[in-house]
Amino acid sequence: MTGHHSNSEIAVRVRRLEERLIGAGLTSDDQLDGIIGQILSGSPANGARVVARAWVDPAFRERLLVDANRALDELGLSMSTGPQPQRLTVVANSATTHNVLVCTLCSCYPIGLLGPSPSWYKSEAYRSRVVREPRAVLAEFGLVLPEATEIVVHDTSAESRHMVLPMRPGGTAGLGEAELAALVTREGLIGTAAV
């Protein structure tokens, strides 16, 4: 599996540094996530734009689920980070299925769509537990799903990334794309929140 996650050495080193800073009492996971949130607040939320378009345009939604890379082109977005574009798969939540993302080996993640990954996404605890007990992990995030809901865990890699298409919230029929995009959270795009 060597080389499967090309950034794994960097991701491990970054997480070790984060854990040292936290262990020394200099910061916390919440503070690190807050800093990332501040950085992201001034930049476009590309993943949210994609979701909002899928919610208002059923034909775009279908194209997104069939070939996400091609659908991104329609919005002027791309998964290219070098000579070889990463493959993006968008997985849609439904009334009977909920999707959640993880990278079990490191922290592969579609940064161009979701922004920098939260510190918990890189933690060994999340990476190992969400695969074994996804329902319990989601409950810890405050997302309690009905027992009948199937939870599907998607493992990302350096070559292939995933994004969750949350279900459109009720009561949003009159909202435009920009208003809908404002409802979408990074956690919703990972699958640890409903939206």
What are the catalytic residues? 103, 106-108
Please name the residues in contact with 70: beta carbons below 8 A apart, sequence gap of 6 or more. 63
Q: Distance between CA 117 and CA 167 in Å, rounded? A: 22
Q: Distance between CA 73 and CA 77 in Å, rounded? A: 5
Which residue type, as a one-letter code, is found at position 12?
A: V
Give Cα separations from 110 to 22, 135, 147, 173 (angstroms).
25, 23, 29, 29
Q: Distance between CA 3 and CA 194 in Å, rounded? A: 33
End-to-end CA distance of the chain: 34
Q: Distance between CA 116 and CA 39 in Å, rounded? A: 9
Please name the residues in contact with 44: beta carbons below 8 A apart, sequence gap of 6 or more. none
